[in-house]
Structure 1
Amino acid sequence: MIVFRSLAEVPADFGPSIVTIGNFDGLHCGHRTVITEVVARARKKNAKAILVTLDPHPARVLRPEFPLRLITPLDVKLELLADTGLDAVLLLPFTQEFSRTTARTFCETVLRDTLHAAEVHEGENFRFGYGAEADMHSLESLGNGCGFTAHIFAPLTMGRQTVSSSRIRTVIGEGNMSAARHMLGRPFAVDSTPARGRGYGTQYAVPTINLAPYADLLPANGVYVTDLRVGTGASAITFEGATNIGNRPTFGEDSFAVETYLLRFHPIPLDEQTPLRMTFHKRLREEKKWPSPEALKAQIGQDVARAERWFHLRKALARAPGATRSR
């Protein structure tokens, strides 16, 4: 998958193309439905399958006073998109100036003149152009003059819920990891590094790791069943664990941390630049102030035991005949 980081990087002979446009935060099941169709149509028409997205997220430019915490920061989103079959992603730098681009100019400059779009696939709530001036009906009309057809997708629903990035942010913020997994099509995870100043050395021998401060979306404060991947590639090691997110009120003054107790730990190479990926499976309980450190230690023992049982059950289900492993 090629990543173009500006219009100028797109070759003059690129296309014809089948296009989808959006922020795609979370790359959830609804997004994947559209992308799958874009890729299928591109193969059928001997065209390029391309996704157009904006960086940074428009909300961070237009409403900086209300910082948006992303489900999938850009590097994670690109990693996920690389497995979809897309031929290319076009990252358009989003600025105040770009935000004033009219819908017509966008269609002519980006879709017609640069991508040579034959089809554009969007959800029925898609809006674009200065002040979100244009909707799917406008896209259809503009497409008639720019040589492409517009294909509309109804929102994906699961149960009684519409799958959307905003809904997923809400359930993650509530600690509902099962609902998040259902709509994302995978468990929610965050990428980080070890916290600074924790004494990480060449050979790390303590069974707890704190994540460095994380600017994007985290689940609600509480204790979770997690996996923690340490490192990348063939040398990566994954530990099952129990993770506390919160302010550690038992120790007095609030001190926010994401701290993981690693099950079946053994010493590992680790420093402050080692990549970590934490995957959240289940919330065990909310954060609570305990009467003493001893009471907290006893509760941690119970949390670890519950996490052990969860992993044991997952392994048993995975071994069952005909079972589909749920992650």
Structure 2
Amino acid sequence: MSFVAQSEVSPSACAVFRSIDSVPEDFGPSVVTVGNFDGVHCGHRRVIGEVVARARALQAKAVLVTLDPHPAVILRPDQAPKLITPTPEKLRLLLQTGLDAVLVIPFTAELARTSAREFAATVLRDRLRAVEVYEGENFRFGYQAEADIAGLSELGREFGFRVEAFQPVKIARGVVSSSRIRQAIAAGDLTTARHLLGRSFAVQSTPARGRGYGTQYAVPTVNLATYEDLLPANGVYVTEMRIGTGEEVVTFESVTNVGNRPTFGPDSFAVESFLFRFRPIALGESTPVRLTFLKRLREERKWPSPEALKAQIGRDVARAERWFALRRALGGASQG
């Protein structure tokens, strides 16, 4: 296997290695988990929590290994899932878990041909010096998913690490899985998605180009740039928009339409948010925008006239305002 050497260290003291070659030769010993971790959901965090706890007990490094892009992008591009958490967002969430390091291995056609034995020897034994490996009971790896937990355990006995398998976490009458969460979000079922993720679903993007964003933006609507990963089903949502980074962050309560705007003629897909209690802000085409989806209000539909649509938007805004007023009264806040 060949990898490009890159690495970085986050402010949280969790090292992010962008290749196996960038892991120091004296790294470890380590307690490791390997997987895609799309969504960093409740099930993932259970495994990660055990990895961190065991690493502390053994005075080892807590390490998570993931792949970028998702293997399906290379192996089955026509079936590749839209991601709940693209890699930058996944890393942001993983850096909050107490891990000592995240290893992001570039997934290529060459890597896809790597045998389970070679992966275990090269990555787990030689570079990470794993002493324990934690995986879900359905874990598979290696060329054509040749090895399962039993195969990993056999390799572990040979290479000097112990393997622990976790049963799936169950919430809301079902197993917590990335595929189940994707299905819920794609259907607009934010309640189920929130229970399984352990937080509200959010997307990180930038404003759409060509909308006149300048030094001082003074219009209370923001369209997101084209977003290629997972979005909720077309419809209208109660949302919250966080704009900017660092000390310049400003957050607005909002209502968002996801869809094709059929009232105005040919389909023109957009994610358009109306911001409540808006004030002029610094907003450019590269400004980070985080949109958190809190509640689905209704499906998208074609209205008989722009006037009818305007009246409905007024009702949507009123419903969203009532939702936020109730949340404030109850002392709640979103989990983005």
TM-score (norm 1): 0.97
Q: Aligned equivalents of 1:135 and 1:263: distance in 2?
A: 51
Offset at 1:66? 2.7
- Alignment RMSD, CA only? 0.9
* Structure 2 residue aligned with 1:281: 294
Offset at 1:325? 5.3
1:308 matches 2:333: no
Q: Aligned equivalents of 1:84 and 1:31: distance in 2?
A: 10
Q: Aligned equivalents of 2:178 and 2:230: distance in 1?
A: 12
* Structure 1 residue aligned with 2:284: 271
Q: Aligned equivalents of 2:172 and 2:266: distance in 1?
A: 42
Q: Aligned equivalents of 1:158 and 1:115: distance in 2?
A: 33
- Tell me if the contact between 1:222 and 1:285 (Cα under 8 Å) persists in the aligned partners: yes
Q: Aligned equivalents of 1:274 and 1:104: distance in 2?
A: 45
Q: What letter matches 2:307 in structure 1?
A: E
The aligned length equals: 322
1:78 matches 2:98: no
Q: What letter matches 2:113 in structure 1?
A: R
| Structure 1: gaps of 5 or more residues | 319-323
* Structure 2 residue aligned with 1:257: 270
After superposition, residues 204-219 of structure 1 pair within 5 angstroms as 204-219=217-232
Q: 1:110-153 CA deviation, whole Å, 9 max, x = no partner? A: 11111110000000000001100110011111100000000010
Runs of 4 or more, structure 1, over 6 Å off, are none
Match of 1:103 among 109, 116, 120: 116
Q: Aligned equivalents of 2:174 and 2:247: distance in 1?
A: 39
After superposition, residues 177-256 of structure 1 pair within 5 angstroms as 177-256=190-269
Paired-residue identity, %: 68
Q: 1:198-224 CA deviation, whole Å, 9 max, x = no partner? A: 111111111111000001000000000
Q: Aligned equivalents of 2:137 and 2:260: distance in 1?
A: 41
Q: Aligned equivalents of 1:139 and 1:315: distance in 2?
A: 50
> Secondary structure, in 3 states, of the residue corresponding to 2:31?
strand
> Secondary structure, in 3 states, of the residue corresponding to 1:242?
strand
Match of 1:158 among 158, 171, 182: 171
Q: Aligned equivalents of 2:191 and 2:247: distance in 1?
A: 29
- Tell me if the contact between 1:14 and 1:116 (Cα under 8 Å) persists in the aligned partners: yes
Offset at 1:326? 6.2
1:112 matches 2:112: no
- Tell me if the contact between 1:20 and 1:35 (Cα under 8 Å) persists in the aligned partners: yes
- Tell me if the contact between 1:5 and 1:91 (Cα under 8 Å) persists in the aligned partners: yes
* Structure 2 residue aligned with 1:3: 16
Q: What letter matches 2:91 in structure 1?
A: L
* Structure 2 residue aligned with 1:291: 304
- Tell me if the contact between 1:317 and 1:325 (Cα under 8 Å) persists in the aligned partners: no
- Tell me if the contact between 2:172 and 2:192 (Cα under 8 Å) persists in the aligned partners: no
- Tell me if the contact between 2:119 and 2:142 (Cα under 8 Å) persists in the aligned partners: yes
* Structure 2 residue aligned with 1:176: 189
- Tell me if the contact between 2:172 and 2:195 (Cα under 8 Å) persists in the aligned partners: no
- Tell me if the contact between 1:22 and 1:54 (Cα under 8 Å) persists in the aligned partners: yes
> Secondary structure, in 3 states, of the residue corresponding to 1:14?
coil
Q: Aligned equivalents of 1:88 and 1:290: distance in 2?
A: 52
Q: Aligned equivalents of 1:197 and 1:116: distance in 2?
A: 51
Q: What letter matches 1:295 in structure 2?
A: A
After superposition, residues 24-39 of structure 1 pair within 5 angstroms as 24-39=37-52
| Structure 2: gaps of 5 or more residues | 1-13
Q: Aligned equivalents of 1:188 and 1:18: distance in 2?
A: 29
- Tell me if the contact between 2:31 and 2:51 (Cα under 8 Å) persists in the aligned partners: yes
Offset at 1:259? 0.3
Offset at 1:83? 0.7
> Secondary structure, in 3 states, of the residue corresponding to 1:206?
coil
- Tell me if the contact between 2:203 and 2:291 (Cα under 8 Å) persists in the aligned partners: yes
> Secondary structure, in 3 states, of the residue corresponding to 1:150?
strand
